[in-house]
Amino acid sequence: MPRDPADRVDSYFVCATPRTGSSLLLGLLESTGVAGRPQAYFRAPDELRWADRWQLPRTAEGGFDYADYVRAALAAGRTENGVFGAKLMWGTLDEVVEKLAASHPDLAGNEVALLNRAFGRTRFVLLRRDDVLAQAVSWLRAEQTDSWFIGGNGEIGGNAGNGRPPRFDADGIRHLIEMITEHNAAWEAWFASWGIRPHVVRYEELDADMVDTTRRILDFLGLDAPAGCPIAPRHQRQSDELNRQWTERYRAAVADC
């Protein structure tokens, strides 16, 4: 039977930390044709590039009107059924709600109300990775090479690379493990503070069964995948033997301390 439209979201955010398979998940969700065209629209370093892609007028200071930006993001990130999706890393959320508060001063301080005002009925998917060491290794390598994904569909950047070879750095891995732990805890605290129960997805279960994981997210969002519409990845795996070697080197280095 068709779902009650009241059960369907207007928008959703995939909340994550880097190297949890978020780009992979966004591509899978987009492939359904009913879950928006989710991208990292609100990553501050990329906002001017998105604004230029959408041909938003620049202000005298070289910026843009944020309300116009949100409207353009909604137009770009919605599928025909009106559902919008986007990705947020920890830290980005604070920036978004601060900018929204300037447009909706009557809701300043109420972060969830601001999001619902701007994006409609909003739900959250929390993406985590059990193997934090593997996540940190992947993050360090992506930062060094500036190659964050292979494949994709319409991203604003992150797949060109800089031509530099990756270099093992135990201190860098340790720092990123600490950062991942802090950001995961911050996400949990934010959800708890607002009484939100996100749909939690583990990278490991996404990797094991992409189609089933995507279908369960659709169910959480109140959406049905169209019959005959294949759910297919749009990104390629980047982890390889070098990642495994770095993981083993880090474990050995820690054991020697």
Is the pTM value of this prediction over 0.85?
Answer: yes
Maximum C-alpha span of the chain: 60
3-state secondary structure of 152: coil
Q: In this predicted model, what pLDDT tens digit does every residue of 180-189 receive, in sequence order? A: 999 999 999 9
Contacts with 43 (C-beta within 8 Å, 6 or more apart), sequence order: 89, 92
The total number of residues written for the chain in this structure? 257
Residue 3 lies in a domain: no
Query: Residue 109: which pLDDT band, with cuts at 50, 70 and 90?
Result: very high
Distance between CA atoms of 16 and 18, rounded to whole angstroms?
Answer: 7
- Residue 2 domain-assigned (yes or no): no
The whole domain housing 102 covers: 8-256
Q: Tell me the average pLDDT of the chain.
A: 91
Question: Could you tell me the CATH number of the domain that includes residue 190?
Answer: 3.40.50.300
The 10s digit of each residue's pLDDT in 115-164 is 999 999 999 999 999 999 999 999 999 889 887 766 667 777 666 667 88
Our count of domains for the chain comes to 1
pLDDT of res. 3 = 61
The whole-number average pLDDT for the span 50-74 is 93
Q: Tell me whether residue 67 is in a domain.
A: yes
Q: Is residue 1 part of a domain?
A: no
> Which has the closest alpha carbon to 223: 22, 99, 85, 102?
85
Q: What is the β-pairing status of strands 150-151 and 235-236?
A: antiparallel
Q: Is residue 115 part of a domain?
A: yes
**Residue from 51, 19, 13 nearest 156 by CA:** 51
